[in-house]
A and B are shown apart, each in its own frame.
Chain A
Amino acid sequence: MKRPILILGAALAFSGCATTPDEPGKVVAEDRFTQLVVPGRTTRAELLAAFGPTKAIVFDSGYETWLYEANAGGGRHTELVLLLDRAGIVQKMRRRPPYPTDPER
């Protein structure tokens, strides 16, 4: 009986493929973030020490994407996204500003 319940539970949890509420990234000070994080040099340990853990996705390739956020005023946030390689070193960074069409939290 456990298996059907598990499958039904999974069916409830997924409509297309995902339904859990958005889990925002940890809010940081953008100026400090851009000063401290350097692609090709900053490590996972340094990120954790400076900003703490945040929303992260680990892929089969061993790469990870991490999401931090910065307050942009008016209940909106700037996204600060990092790509970490298999060795845990930041390889890429990008910034997504809030747009007028973004919903407020």
Chain B
Amino acid sequence: MRRLGGFLLAFICAAVPAISSAQQAGPSAEPKPQTVTVTSTRDPVDKSYRKMIRGMERFEREHALAPQAQLRFHLLPRTPGVNMRGITLRVLGDHIAVPVQVADDNTFVLPRNEQALREDAAVVANRKTTSMTWRAQVITPGLPPGTRRLGDLRLECLVGMEAGLVSNSSPLFGWISDALTTPEQVCNSPKGNFLFFNERPIFSVILQAGQRSEILPFKMLYAGGEQSRDMLPFCDCQVLLDRTYYAPIWDRSWPDDTLVSFEYMDDPPASAELRP
């Protein structure tokens, strides 16, 4: 945190004189107008195509974490009321537009396109970008219904961070996060706080590896239970709080084949839930 504070101080010290000098520049310093060709407009927080391709390359390098799984990307609601049906996606560069097919479950595979890479294209949805958040989706086939595999989640974190998918806050906030949090820092640390989302509101999360079984502590559900109403809009868990959990992806005492299962808020109650 001290390092972050120092970085912010340096950022402010560097930025303020630049703003100040721009405000003080008189008419004599006014730059000559330039002509540029703009064929499309990009939201400043659209996803970077280059970064998402880097995420896909990371998936290939770390595939041993989930050898049977394929990679997809997943769009999730970020703000209240966003319509998650009929989403279309395009890879948009200065002179290229590549449509991306989005499945009914709002997952998609990103095509590789060299021209889009050269043009530093953006991945753009027909929604206000800040209305959604994005995640990598890595699912090993054949798992028991309703379960996840810890190695899959480890890979989702690495790919998601490499691809710049987390939409936690304002562009400034996102920029600071990107500068200070590498995939390794986030995914290999108990303080990494990488959020996973379930399809349904969760009440309990259980890990199972061989004979070892543990229930996740309360602080690993609902984004740690630390989000006040004022701060929640800064978190990409804003409308998914009751589906949100941390997984101990940093803890290598849990093997990649560890199964993660869930009890849901809307499950029928068991007969003697509290009795040990």
Enumerate chain A interface residues (CB-CB to B < 8 A). 4, 7-8, 10-20, 22-23, 25, 34, 37, 39-40, 55, 57, 59-61, 63, 65, 67, 79-81, 83, 91-97, 99, 101-102
Among A18, A63, A79, contact of B227 (Cβ-Cβ < 8 Å): A18
Given contacts A20-B226, A94-B204, contact A40 B269 (CB under 8 A): yes
CB distance A92 to B218 under 8 Å? no
In the complex, residue of chain B having the shortest beta-carbon distance to the beta carbon of A63: B265
Report the minimal beta-carbon distance from B264 to chain A, rounded to whole angstroms: 10
How many A-B residue pairs lie within 8 Å, measured between CB atoms? 138
A37 to B231: give the CA distance in the assembly, Å: 32
A97 to B275: give the CA distance in the assembly, Å: 11
Among A11, A14, A92, contact of B269 (Cβ-Cβ < 8 Å): A92
Ordered by A's residue number, 25 sampled pairs between the chains whose C-beta atoms are within 8 Å are A4-B172, A10-B169, A11-B169, A11-B177, A14-B173, A16-B166, A16-B186, A16-B191, A16-B192, A17-B168, A17-B224, A17-B234, A18-B224, A18-B235, A19-B226, A20-B224, A20-B226, A23-B226, A61-B242, A80-B274, A83-B265, A92-B265, A92-B267, A92-B269, A99-B214
Chain B residues near A4: list those with CB within 8 A. Answer: 172
Enumerate chain B interface residues (CB-CB to A < 8 A). 1, 4-5, 8, 12, 80, 166, 168-170, 172-173, 176-177, 180-181, 186, 191-195, 201, 203-204, 214-215, 217-219, 221-227, 231, 234-237, 239, 241-242, 253, 263, 265, 267, 269, 273-276
Report the minimal beta-carbon distance from A32 to chain B, rounded to whole angstroms: 13
Q: Could you list 6 further interchain pairs (A-B, Cβ under 8 angstroms) beyond the known A39-B269, A81-B203, A95-B275?
A: A20-B224, A60-B242, A65-B225, A91-B265, A92-B203, A92-B265
